[in-house]
Amino acid sequence: MEKVVLIGRNIEHSLSPAIHNYLFDKYNLPLQYELLELTREEVIPTLRTLKRGGYRGANITSPYKQTVLIELDSLSEEAETIGAVNTIVFDHGRGTGHNTDSNGFAWSLRGESLIEGTYDAAVLGTGGAAMAAVFHLLRSPGLTTLTLYSRDRERAETVVRGWNDTRLRGRALDAFEPADLVIHATPVGMPGTP
């Protein structure tokens, strides 16, 4: 039986094993889903082990969506553009990284009248989930400005330069200005986080 794992920190609250194992059983799939709580130093050596066999894939969550990039053999177009991975498929000793966060984010906005016209947006955070939101929002024809907020202004500005889009700007979180759409993509409020 092959395994699929969730790699992250403070993940003991995750419902992923219960949901995935229920579906694996229901559809008679020879898979088992497990949690792997790792330190940053353990992530890359663990990925190398998983790639060698017995594992079909991994889900990656905070704070390792960007950490895993250096160990992957290939990236989907979205993962490469976003610069973060939340899904890895292992096949014949190789790991391919994908990012499905952007599609999930797009799905959550489906039917929202706000994005049918022109609007400005703010994204709080500069991690993998924030980059997935930026990826989707920059493809929205009605977006006028998108402000990326970080506790560290320089970090926000550095991230913005990587996107090369004049509608995007970086600011320190303490300079927050209201926007039509605000996306909270920080770990604040998650278990184990203040």
Active site residue 3: no
Closest CA to 32 of 61, 68, 6: 6
CB 190, CB 62: distance < 8 Å: yes
Report how far residue 58's alpha carbon sits from residue 78's, in angstroms, rounded to the nearest whole number: 17
Alpha-carbon torsion (167, 109, 79, 11), positive or negative:
positive
Which pair of structure tokens corresponds to residue 183?
A: 């996306």
Catalytic residue (one of 3, 26, 51, 65): 65
Report how far residue 41's alpha carbon sits from residue 53's, in angstroms, rounded to the nearest whole number: 21
Q: Which SS3 state, helix, strand or coil, does residue 166 take?
A: coil
- Which residues are annotated as catalytic? 65
